């Protein structure tokens, strides 16, 4: 609400200056009373240019970060300084060639317009230069430093699948992740659509996602916000996955998901992805060949004589010659560990005395 109030004040100020330009003796009448029409054109074009430039900056800088705003301010200051240098050059040329209102009235009238255009051009080029090169160079200003990566403030954008999954709420509650979580408005709308689905399974998944979102919002230790993202019309027409990737690029954030296809698309477009499945796999118990484990065999394996058990974290254990011990707790010796896209698998065998007793 405050942001729209500031925009309205800016619009009123620009329109007021434009109206003053039509008054004789107004602030734009620096060329004398005989050039009223020229003054009016300068007032209209100048105010429209400032208005368009202001709204373009407001739309492009979607997240009003301190670094971006200070970059614009620093670029304007640098542009004004460069423009003043060129203005002195223009004055020197006019004095050198003795151009005044008597010798060349047309060129003399155009002098102020030339100086004004030089200032605008220099400010524009300086702002573009600062914004585009702030990741390659560091402009040290008192209490402000542009850097390519700023630890601790990179937002994490959540997608629908990771919210429905629910594990992100438990991970965030452990205080390991200190970055703020962002849920785009279109993701919340998608959750509402899934929760209102006629399919019972989809409806349950959507309601679970809304419950997980409410759980994270109720936790005072989790910084999570729902934001309206300023996407272009073409980006809004894209699928939700592509909108998420575009959002992550605009916000310079990380995408949190457990969708394999979305992971690939984001990686291709240069977006950092945190996959919850990869995180869960990296936290599973590490075992080495030759170590002993105790597990309960619950079902037969795919190959003849195999028995299958599971660890507490869900890791599958395949035991050779263990089918006869299904339903029992057995001690095994790890022979190998296989990491697949579905997770980690442990292969083992029974100790010699177990197999010997079974043969007897």
- Residues 32-78: tens digit of each pLDDT: 555 556 666 766 777 777 777 766 666 655 444 555 666 677 777 88
Q: Are residues 170 and 305 in the same domain?
A: no
Q: Are residues 79 and 186 in the same domain?
A: no
pLDDT exceeds cutoff 80 at 11: no
Query: Over the stretch 222-234, which tens digit does the pLDDT of each residue have?
Result: 889 888 888 888 8
Spatial distance between the Cα atoms of 23 and 46, rounded to a whole number of angstroms: 15
> In the prediction, which pLDDT does 319 show?
92
Q: Are residues 274 and 325 in the same domain?
A: no
pLDDT exceeds cutoff 50 at 300: yes
> In the prediction, which pLDDT does 140 show?
44
> In the prediction, which pLDDT does 34 show?
54
Closest to 355 in 3D by CA, of 307, 302, 310: 307
How many independent structural domains does the chain possess?
Answer: 3
pLDDT exceeds cutoff 50 at 143: no
CB 28 within 8 A of CB 51: no
Residue 9 lies in a domain: yes
> In the prediction, which pLDDT does 204 show?
92
The residue ranges of DSSP E strands in the chain, in sequence order, are 140-141, 144-145, 156-158, 181-184, 224-227, 254-257, 273-275, 292-300, 307-310, 316-320, 329-340, 343-349
| Least confident residue range of 89-98, 131-140, 291-300, 328-337 | 131-140
Six token digits for residue 226 = 């729902």
Residue 214 lies in a domain: yes
Q: Are residues 136 and 173 in the same domain?
A: no
> In the prediction, which pLDDT does 283 show?
75
With vertex at residue 209, the alpha carbon angle to CA 204 and CA 211, rounded to the nearest 5 degrees, is 95
The sign of the dihedral angle between the CA atoms of 235, 240, 245, 250 is positive
> In the prediction, which pLDDT does 126 show?
78
Q: Are residues 118 and 229 in the same domain?
A: no
pLDDT exceeds cutoff 70 at 163: yes
Residue 150 lies in a domain: no
Q: Are residues 139 and 9 in the same domain?
A: yes
pLDDT exceeds cutoff 60 at 239: yes
CATH number at residue 313: 2.40.50.1060
| Least confident residue range of 105-114, 204-213, 265-274 | 105-114
Query: Over the stretch 305-348, which tens digit does the pLDDT of each residue have?
Result: 899 998 877 788 999 988 888 999 999 999 988 876 566 788 99
User: Angle formed by the axes of helices 66-96 and 105-133, to 10°?
Assistant: 150
> In the prediction, which pLDDT does 265 show?
87
> In the prediction, which pLDDT does 24 show?
52
Q: Are residues 82 and 214 in the same domain?
A: no
Question: Average pLDDT of the chain?
Answer: 77
Average pLDDT of 282-294? 82
Spatial distance between the Cα atoms of 251 and 56, rounded to a whole number of angstroms: 17
> In the prediction, which pLDDT does 84 show?
87
> In the prediction, which pLDDT does 107 show?
66
User: What single-letter DSSP state applies at residue 289?
Assistant: T
> In the prediction, which pLDDT does 353 show?
45
Give the domain extent around 330: 292-359
> In the prediction, which pLDDT does 211 show?
92
Using CB atoms within 10 Å of the CB of residue 160, give its burial: 0 to 12 exposed, 13 to 18 middle, 19+ buried: buried
> In the prediction, which pLDDT does 147 show?
44
Top mean pLDDT of 101-105, 171-175, 351-355 is at 171-175
> In the prediction, which pLDDT does 309 show?
92
């Amino acid at each position: 609400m405050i942001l729209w109030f500031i925009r309205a004040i800016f619009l009123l100020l620009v329109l007021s200056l434009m109206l003053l330009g039509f008054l004789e003796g107004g602030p734009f009448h620096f060329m004398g009373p005989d050039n009223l029409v020229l003054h009016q054109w300068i007032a209209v074009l100048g105010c429209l240019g400032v208005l368009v430039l202001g709204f373009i900056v407001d739309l492009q800088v979607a997240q009003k970060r301190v670094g971006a705003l200070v970059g614009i301010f620093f670029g304007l200051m640098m542009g004004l300084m460069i423009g003043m240098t060129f203005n002195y050059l223009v004055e020197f040329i006019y004095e050198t060639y003795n151009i005044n209102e008597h010798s060349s009235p047309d060129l003399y009238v155009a002098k102020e317009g030339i100086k004004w255009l030089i200032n605008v051009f220099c400010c524009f080029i300086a702002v573009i230069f600062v914004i585009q090169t702030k990741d390659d160079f560091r402009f040290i200003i008192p209490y402000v430093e542009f850097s390519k990566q700023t630890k601790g403030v990179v937002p994490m954008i959540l997608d629908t699948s990771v919210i429905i999954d629910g594990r992100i709420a438990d991970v965030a509650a452990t205080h390991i992740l200190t970055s703020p979580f962002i849920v785009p408005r279109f993701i919340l709308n998608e959750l509402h659509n899934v929760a209102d689905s006629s399919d019972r399974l989809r409806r349950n998944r959507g309601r679970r996602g809304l419950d997980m979102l409410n759980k994270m919002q109720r936790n005072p230790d989790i910084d999570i916000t729902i934001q309206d993202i300023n996407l272009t019309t073409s980006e809004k027409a894209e699928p939700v996955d592509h909108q998420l990737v575009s959002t992550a690029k605009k916000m310079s954030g990380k995408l949190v998901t457990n969708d394999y296809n979305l992971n690939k698309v984001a990686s291709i477009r240069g977006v950092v992805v945190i996959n919850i499945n990869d995180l869960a796999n990296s936290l599973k118990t590490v075992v080495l060949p030759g170590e002993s484990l105790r597990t309960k065999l619950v079902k037969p394996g795919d190959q003849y004589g195999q028995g299958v058990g599971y660890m507490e974290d869900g890791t599958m254990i395949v035991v050779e010659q263990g089918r006869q011990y299904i339903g029992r707790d057995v001690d095994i010796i790890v022979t190998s560990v296989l990491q697949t896209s579905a997770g980690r698998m442990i292969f083992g065998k029974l100790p010699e005395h177990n197999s010997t007793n079974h043969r007897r």
